[in-house]
Every structure is written in C-alpha cells, then in structure tokens.
Amino acid sequence: MKRRQFVGSLAAAASLAACAKQEGNCEGAAAQFSETFEWSAATSWPPKYPGLGIAVNNLADRIERASGGRLKIKVYAGGELVPAFEAFDAVSRGMVEMGHDAAYYHKGKVEAAQLFTAIPFGMNYMEMNAWLYYGGGLELWRELYEPFNLVPFPCGNTGVQMGGWFNKEINSISDLKGLKMRIPGLGGEVIRRAGGTPVTMPAAEIFTSLQTGAIDATEWVGPYNDVILGLHTVAKYYYYPGWQEPAPALQCYINTKAWDSLPPDLQAIIEVSCQAITTDMMAEYTHGNAIALQQLIEDPNVEIRPFPDEVLQYLKAITQEIVAEMVARDPAIAKIHASWSSFIEKSIPNQRITEQAFLATRK
Ligand code: CA
C-alpha cells in the first residue's frame, strides 16, 4: 500500500475513534464512511464459470462485505454488457469501472500486456507473484496501463496449465504443421511460427469449434475447467505440460477516475481482496485439477500424454526467437522483459534446489 493511502486510512480510523469518544469531528468521519459506490465489472468469462469467473464474483462479494456495503460491484459475464474481449476498452473509456480477464487478450491494443499474463516456458506461480510484488513487475504493469486510464491488479492465477486437447497425435515437430489450434497470446505466435494456425476465441465457443472440426486442437486451462467445458468428449489426446502458460496471472483493472474517487480504505480493500483472490484461485485449481484429473485417468476415451521432448525444445527455441524480436522492436517490451529476465535468471538456481528437487523426490 502506498504510504499516503495507509496514512489516510489511519487518519480516518483515528477520526472515527475520536468521534466515538465524542472528542472529534463526527460529521467529517461520518461523511467519509457513509459515501457508497455502485460499480459494474465487465469480464470475458462465461456466467459464474468455476475458477476464472467465480473469482470475480468472489472478489465483488469480499469487497462488499469488507467495506460494510460501501462498495458494491455488479459482475457481468462475457458478452452480457460488452463482448467478451472488450472489457479493456469499456473500462478504459469509463463505461464500466472494473474489468477482469487476461492481459494477453488485449495484445492488439498493447502488445507488452502479454508479458503480464505469461511468457511460454517462463515463471511458475511462485515466481510470477515474487516478480510482480517484490521484483518491480507490478510497478511496470501500472506504468504500461496508465495511458489507457487503467490501474491493474494481479487477480488470480491458474498455475501450470495443460498443453491442451488434440484430435491429432503430436509425435514430432512436423505434426505441428497445419495444426489449427485455439491458443491465445505468445503461445499462439509460437504455434504460428511452427507452421500451425492459432486462433483466439472465448471459452463459450471452444467446445463447438473442436466438435465440428473447425479447430484440430485447443488449450484452455487444465482438468478442472476443461472437463466443465466438455472438451474430453470431443478430443482424444490430452497433452502436457502447458508450456504456453506455466502460471498465467489474471488481471483486475479499474478505471483511473473511478479508482481516484475512492477513499483510501476502500482502495486498500480492493488491493487486499485482489491478492486474496490470487491465493484462493490457486487453491481452487490445485484442488479441482486433482479431482478432475482422476476422472480423466479413468476415462477410456481419453489418452493423457506428454509432448515429446523434441517438440518442447523446438517450441522453446521459437519462443526465445519471438521474444528477442519483440524486445528489439518495442521499448516497452524491452523494459518489462529486462526486469522479468533479471528475476527469473536468479530464481531458476533457487527453484532447482528447492521446489524442483523436492517434487523429484515424490515420483
Ligand atoms: Ca490457457
């Protein structure tokens, strides 16, 4: 929390305490705590969708309870208020106060935003939070969104995703050629350069596209979410790991004017609630994926397979090539990427002898 805001909250609390003891200005304190706000939040998720979508409802609910009803947020599913991928514009223009989705959906507007969702073969959940909260990542994110009148907050993370559902076997690099796959963000660019055709579409359209053969493959999230979409009933091969999204951060963003209109304690409630949603979502996915994976293991129509190492190494080399080109052509990307790589380079040796070494003992 910024010092100014923290001091503001303390001052307000002191003023209320003084008022309670009949020593202070009760009118000023009462005015600060009686102002109420009614906001709308646009998202890209299907209504009350487990994980990603429910997170926004939970966020609104926590904020309303923590603020004693002073900040009420009505959540709209993708397409209800604005099309699924247009929340960014709607919040930027001030049509709604808050948005929730993934930054990489908006790479057409601001290419560097993708780096705040995930870089393929990049950071895991712990590293992403470490970089955002302690490594300068969040400051760079705020700077990037400032011209769009948006204040961003990390708000959710799914952890390592799955590589996706395929109706074609991927046995070698050549199997990627001609592959039509739903895969957004940088992962999609990697598939394009590997000879495939990436497409982006909201969750609600994935099932039908895969069922009708309009696409050969899709990545979505992981067992918990994929089973809910029914993807296991329209594709046979379930490949891992999700090289494209090792720990995608979700984003909550608020129109700058709306943010500035809030008293410091409500701002603090939003900040803390977004952080809590990140922890909560990771717990929900870790639990839900474990249960849903069991179902998929027992399903005779599903084959769970690792990508061949040759394919992963090839995709990783393409990723490095694409990121190097992005860094060379866009100073905003170069600045964010420099901060990102400075942290991950230090983190890899530490992760190797802690999480990675420990997980290897549980084989
Ligand atoms: Ca995904």
Domain of residue 57, CATH code: 3.40.190.170
Per-residue model confidence (pLDDT) at position 246: 97
Asked if residue 223 lies in contact with residue 191, where contact means CB atoms within 8 angstroms, the answer is: no
The CA 219 to ligand 1 mean position distance, Å, reads 6
Q: Is the pLDDT at 61 greater than 80, yes or no? A: yes
The CA 33 to ligand 1 mean position distance, Å, reads 41
Same domain, 253 and 142: yes
If one counts the domains in the chain, the total is 2
Same domain, 78 and 181: no
In this prediction the pTM is 0.88
Residue 194 lies in a domain: yes
Residue 23 lies in a domain: no
Asked if residue 12 lies in contact with residue 33, where contact means CB atoms within 8 angstroms, the answer is: yes
Per-residue model confidence (pLDDT) at position 28: 62
Helices (H), the chain: 3-20, 26-34, 52-66, 87-92, 125-134, 137-145, 185-193, 203-211, 223-229, 256-260, 264-298, 309-329, 331-351, 357-360
Instruction: Determine how β-strand 164-166 pairs with β-strand 217-218.
Output: antiparallel
The CA 319 to ligand 1 mean position distance, Å, reads 16
Same domain, 190 and 150: no
Question: Mean of the per-residue pLDDT values for the chain?
Answer: 93
Same domain, 128 and 253: yes
The CA 86 to ligand 1 mean position distance, Å, reads 18
Per-residue model confidence (pLDDT) at position 3: 45
The CA 204 to ligand 1 mean position distance, Å, reads 14
Residue 17 lies in a domain: no
Helix (H, G, I), strand (E, B) or coil at 177: coil
The CA 248 to ligand 1 mean position distance, Å, reads 8
Q: How far is CA 69 from CA 62, 223, 261, 272, in A?
A: 10, 36, 16, 16
Same domain, 224 and 338: no
The CA 360 to ligand 1 mean position distance, Å, reads 25
The CA 329 to ligand 1 mean position distance, Å, reads 26
The CA 4 to ligand 1 mean position distance, Å, reads 38
Q: What tokens does 217 get? A: 């493959």
Confidence band for 15, pLDDT divided at 50, 70 and 90: low
The CA 118 to ligand 1 mean position distance, Å, reads 10
Q: Cα(330)–Cα(337) distance, rounded to whole angstroms?
A: 10
Same domain, 362 and 273: yes
Same domain, 149 and 83: yes
The CA 241 to ligand 1 mean position distance, Å, reads 11
Rg (CA), the chain: 22
Which range among 42-51, 72-81, 221-230 shows the weakest confidence by mean pLDDT? 42-51
Same domain, 91 and 133: yes
The CA 161 to ligand 1 mean position distance, Å, reads 6
Which of 43, 53, 42 is closest to 221 using CA atoms?
A: 53
Helix (H, G, I), strand (E, B) or coil at 149: coil
Confidence band for 241, pLDDT divided at 50, 70 and 90: very high
Q: What is the DSSP string of 285-314?
A: HHHHHHHHHHHHHH-TT-EEEEPPHHHHHH
Helix (H, G, I), strand (E, B) or coil at 213: coil
The CA 245 to ligand 1 mean position distance, Å, reads 6
- Average pLDDT for 316-331: 98
Task: State which residues form the domain around 317.
Answer: 164-244+301-329
Q: Is the pLDDT at 205 greater than 50, yes or no? A: yes
Q: Is the pLDDT at 255 greater than 50, yes or no? A: yes
The CA 196 to ligand 1 mean position distance, Å, reads 17
Residue 2 lies in a domain: no
Same domain, 132 and 278: yes
The CA 16 to ligand 1 mean position distance, Å, reads 47
Could you tell me how far CA 266 lies from the centroid of its own chain?
A: 23
The CA 68 to ligand 1 mean position distance, Å, reads 35
The CA 40 to ligand 1 mean position distance, Å, reads 26
Helix (H, G, I), strand (E, B) or coil at 108: coil
The CA 89 to ligand 1 mean position distance, Å, reads 22
Same domain, 123 and 177: no
**What CATH number has the domain bearing residue 197?**
3.40.190.10
Residue 20 lies in a domain: no
The CA 221 to ligand 1 mean position distance, Å, reads 4
* pLDDT tens digits, one per residue of 174-203: 999 999 999 988 999 999 999 999 998 888
Same domain, 114 and 235: no
Q: Cα(233)–Cα(231) distance, rounded to whole angstroms?
A: 5
Same domain, 70 and 129: yes
